[in-house]
Amino acid sequence: MAQPIAPGALTGLRVIEMGQLIAGPFAAKTLADFGADVIKIEPPGTGDPLRTWRLVKDGTSVWWQVQSRNKRSIAIDLRQPEGQDIARKLIAEADVLIENFRPGTLEQWGMSYETLARTNPGLVMLRISGYGQTGPYRDLPGFGLIGEAMGGLRHLCGEPGRVPVRCGISIGDTLAALHGTIGVLMALHHRNANGGKGQVIDVALAEATLNVMESLIPEYSAFGVVREAAGSALPGIAPSNAYKCSDGYVLVAGNGDSIFKRLMEAIGRGDLAKDPELAGNAGRVRRVAEIDAAIEQWTRTRTVSDILDRLGKASVPAGKVYTAKDIALDPHFRARDMILRQRTRDGYELDVPGIVPKLLGTPGAIHTSAPGVGDDTDAVMREFGWSEEDIRALRQRGVVA
């Protein structure tokens, strides 16, 4: 069941979301989970395309149920000048605006930051795009997979010498969203501590990916090394790999000096545990093939369950490769409320991921299920001062729905 409703860390924060699909909406979802009032502007009719992406139940993607929980939907045709006027009025009373259109789109609609800040100088504006708001690639279309490739991630994914693979989700979009969320919180802190002035946060998909690439660039700078794909291993850190078992694979991270010794003792290789050359990571890296072979010789004749039990008792980090079913049934995820039961507006029950991070004083919660297109148009517009007559007239002209 959903967590009990209580004031969140961001209660009182008003956010206007003008993005669609993944990056912008994920950032807004993160804020909404912690109490922010997120008003999502969608085009009338079909709304956000994510509503029909991947597997659909009762006409709506189940992904949508996660991405848009805790939000309100107002349907506005932003191609019409009257629709743009409505958006400007909403933004004038907001703390945060989130958008992930191609750079220049809001400017074409008369909604540059400079224009919006004249009536709302405290506005914090998060802009997520493929390459950022400046630079020679600014106007190129950029989706998550392009950002992942440009940021260096795609080159490292997969087996050596084979086609680069993606990790199976739109990780570039999510990384950008999380960087954007951090930027919003920093900008709000600065605004509140420095006279109420807002600012723009410019997040590029490619840069958000590059930011998590660890030693990729300094290794090239210092040594001319171009890091390559390495399959399931983690080059330069040993042992850390996936090992074949009798009924699948097990992941083992034995790369700490004391952990390595415990691992070797657990698999019956006390000789390697006592080898002085393997006492530090540098020596283990030089002999990683030998170490991996010793570990897999032990794992191949045992089940995943048996290996995890033995390594757990030896305090060696190890785990299995979880499927969606494994996650859904795992007692630890359940105990930590990482699988929550949510009732959709279509009337069915759905398991959804819980809320991260865990704030113990002001925890996040699922307050409302994901809205239909324009479910909250009338209520939101009344809050912002439009009369019922105004709303009816705008609806008749196709400006809102």
- What are the catalytic residues? 173
Question: How far apart, in Å, are the Cα atoms of 390 and each of 92, 97, 250, 271, 372?
Answer: 19, 24, 62, 82, 22
- The DSSP bridge pattern shows strands 96-99 and 124-129 to be parallel
Would you state the structure tokens that stand for residue 315, as one six-digit string? 């305090």
For residue 110, give the amino acid letter.
G
Rounded Cα gap, residues 51 and 152, in angstroms: 30
Nearest to 75 by CA among 111, 101, 96, 45: 45
Q: Are 377 and 61 in contact (CB under 8 A)?
A: no
Long-range own/partner contacts, residues 86-90 (CB < 8 A, 24 or more apart) = 86/381, 86/394, 86/399, 86/400, 87/16, 87/18, 87/41, 87/111, 88/116, 88/119, 89/384, 89/385, 90/16, 90/39, 90/41, 90/380, 90/384
Rounded Cα gap, residues 172 and 217, in angstroms: 18
Nearest to 42 by CA among 370, 345, 377, 366: 377
* 3-class secondary structure per residue, 147-171: HHHHCCHHHHCCCCCCCCCCCCCCH
Q: Are 226 and 166 in contact (CB under 8 A)?
A: no
The interaxial angle of helices 171-193 and 23-33, nearest 10 deg, is 50
Rounded Cα gap, residues 69 and 6, in angstroms: 16
Q: Are 65 and 50 in contact (CB under 8 A)?
A: no
Q: Position of tokens 């330069």? A: 236
Residues linked to residue 201 through DSSP beta bridges, in sequence order: 126
Question: How far apart, in Å, are the Cα atoms of 72 and each of 32, 127, 398?
Answer: 10, 20, 20
DSSP state of 400: B
Please calculate the CA angle 357-61-398 and round it to the nearest 5 degrees.
105
Rounded Cα gap, residues 158 and 249, in angstroms: 17
